[in-house]
């Protein structure tokens, strides 16, 4: 794959006004209010600025539209202003998680069948075992909780039968729902229910997007299009985790309708992507078509950043190629590594290594030994994504072999 050729020059860098950027952040499957991302940005930007010797300050949001904030940076003596907006779909996530305990176990069966019955699970294991283990974890954990609850109930019923009356053996079923509710109430420690809902969200539709999400994605595309004004120096879309595959489809829809005349450079940064978890399912024809479409466009820059240390992502897997839809003349994405073992000090890496969910968000955080990936310079610095990675070759260890069984597109 060829190196990036900058689509345009950074005009603001040659003048006196600050470099102006619009940033649209697409979260993954997350039910939390978007203020979480503002506070994460504020805290981690301050830490990265102190480490790297530049300045970033946050101001209240100054644009219409979704929840967001303004970041002002001074990097290398050049000023930049970034209006950051979170494209919120947490309400859709919350609705998908509002299931009873029996409904969650029904989800478990459907999800397991979707991935095992289609053969997708076994092909995903040929890419990276980490995210597959993460997918199996909630299934195993929830079944273990059910088994434990049943064992306690059986013991309770046996005790009553032996000490009171044999007919009370059936009373052993009474504690089971209370035990399962206790497990669910403490899921913030183990994330079994959360992850089950996450994987079930895609599996329920066999890789397609539910209607409510398609409607929201169309609204996101319209919001991004409205930001493509000539007085802006870059429009940057950031998709994290599940938000990466949403970004692929949103931007594909946007580009198919045509960009407005005089538009600024359009860029896409995908972080910690789990695209194969969806694109390997039989019904993901829309996503596969969008991957193939976006990969050849010369009116966008697409950089994909993952790290082998992130056990929840398909690290260094070219999402287009491994899905089996890479067209002739594929241009994107540029696949690079955040290289956690190199960009985090040994002490920091030791502290984070087994905190899998925290590591999955490291792309949005400060590095104490930063390399050429710096989230805050990318979002609040005076260079476009195309310029920043103009001479960057893909990581040598990227995976490009086509593994997916289902390659038909919409």
What are the pLDDT digits (tens) for 275-305?
999 999 999 999 999 999 999 999 999 999 9
pLDDT at residue 319 above 80? yes
Place of tokens 């002002």: 72
Q: What is the pTM of this model?
A: 0.92
Are 272 and 217 found together in one domain?
yes
Give pLDDT, residue 15: 57
Handedness of CA 303, 308, 312, 313 (dihedral sign): positive
Q: How many domains does the chain have?
A: 2
Residue 85's domain comprises 22-91+207-388
Are 199 and 257 found together in one domain?
no
| Cβ pair 152, 158 in contact under 8 A | no
Of residues 306 and 2, more confidence is placed in 306
Burial of 401 (0-12, 13-18, 19+ CB in 10 A): exposed
Q: What is the CATH number of the domain that holds 332?
A: 3.40.50
Which phi-psi region, left, alpha or beta, contains residue 234 (left: φ > 0; alpha: ψ -120 to 50)?
Answer: beta
pLDDT at residue 145 above 80? yes
| Cβ pair 271, 305 in contact under 8 A | yes
Are 244 and 382 found together in one domain?
yes
Distance CA 313, CA 308 (A): 8
Are 301 and 165 found together in one domain?
no
Residue 3 counted as domain residue:
no
| Chosen domain end from 187, 203, 219 | 203
| Chosen domain end from 203, 225, 243 | 203
Are 175 and 324 found together in one domain?
no
Give pLDDT, residue 9: 42
Are 199 and 229 found together in one domain?
no
Are 178 and 51 found together in one domain?
no
Give pLDDT, residue 282: 96
Handedness of CA 34, 90, 219, 234 (dihedral sign): positive
Are 232 and 158 found together in one domain?
no
234-236-241 Cα angle (round to 5): 170
Model confidence over 199-243: pLDDT tens digits?
A: 999 898 999 999 999 999 999 999 999 999 889 999 999 999 999
Place of tokens 């497990």: 183
Are 344 and 233 found together in one domain?
yes
**DSSP label at 389?**
T
Mean pLDDT of 149-171: 88
| Cβ pair 108, 142 in contact under 8 A | yes
Model confidence over 21-30: pLDDT tens digits?
A: 999 999 999 9
Give pLDDT, residue 2: 45
Give pLDDT, residue 115: 94
Give pLDDT, residue 16: 78
Residue 16 counted as domain residue:
no
pLDDT at residue 196 above 70? yes
| Chosen domain end from 203, 229, 262 | 203
Give pLDDT, residue 8: 42
Give pLDDT, residue 172: 82
């Amino acid at each position: 794959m060829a190196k990036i050729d900058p689509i345009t020059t950074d005009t603001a860098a040659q003048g006196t006004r600050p470099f102006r950027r619009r940033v649209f952040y697409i979260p993954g499957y997350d039910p939390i209010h978007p203020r979480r991302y503002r506070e994460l940005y504020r805290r981690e930007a301050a830490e990265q600025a102190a480490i790297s010797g530049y300045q970033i300050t946050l101001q209240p949001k100054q644009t219409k539209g979704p929840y967001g904030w303004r970041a002002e940076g001074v990097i290398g003596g050049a000023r930049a202003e970034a209006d950051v907006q979170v494209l919120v779909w947490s309400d859709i996530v919350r609705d998908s998680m509002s299931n009873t305990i029996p409904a969650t176990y029904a989800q478990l069966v459907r999800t397991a069948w979707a991935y095992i019955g289609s053969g997708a699970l076994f092909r995903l294991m040929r890419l990276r075992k980490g995210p597959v283990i993460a997918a199996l974890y909630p299934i195993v954990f929830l079944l273990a909780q059910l088994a434990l609850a049943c064992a306690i109930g059986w013991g309770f019923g046996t005790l009553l039968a032996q000490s009171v009356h044999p007919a009370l053996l059936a009373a052993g079923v009474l504690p089971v729902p209370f035990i399962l509710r206790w497990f669910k109430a403490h899921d913030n420690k183990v994330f079994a229910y959360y992850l089950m809902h996450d994987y079930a969200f895609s599996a329920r539709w066999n890789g397609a997007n539910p209607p409510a999400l398609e409607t929201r994605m169309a609204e996101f595309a319209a919001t991004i299009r409205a930001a493509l004004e000539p007085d802006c120096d870059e429009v940057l879309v950031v998709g994290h985790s599940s938000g990466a595959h949403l970004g692929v489809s949103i931007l594909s829809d946007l580009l198919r309708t045509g960009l407005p005349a005089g538009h600024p450079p359009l860029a896409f940064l995908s972080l910690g992507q789990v695209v194969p978890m969806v694109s390997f399912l039989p019904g993901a024809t829309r996503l596969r078509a969008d991957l193939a479409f976006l990969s050849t466009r010369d009116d966008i820059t697409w950089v994909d950043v993952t790290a082998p240390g992130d056990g929840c992502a398909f690290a260094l897997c070219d999402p287009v190629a491994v899905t089996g839809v890479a067209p002739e003349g594929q241009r994107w994405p540029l696949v690079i590594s955040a290289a956690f073992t190199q960009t985090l000090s040994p002490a920091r890496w030791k502290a984070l290594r087994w905190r899998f969910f925290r590591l999955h968000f490291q792309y949005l955080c400060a590095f104490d030994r930063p390399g050429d990936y710096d989230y805050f310079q990318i979002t609040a610095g005076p260079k476009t994504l195309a310029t920043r990675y103009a001479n960057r070759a893909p990581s040598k260890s990227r995976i490009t072999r086509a593994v997916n069984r289902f390659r038909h597109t919409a």
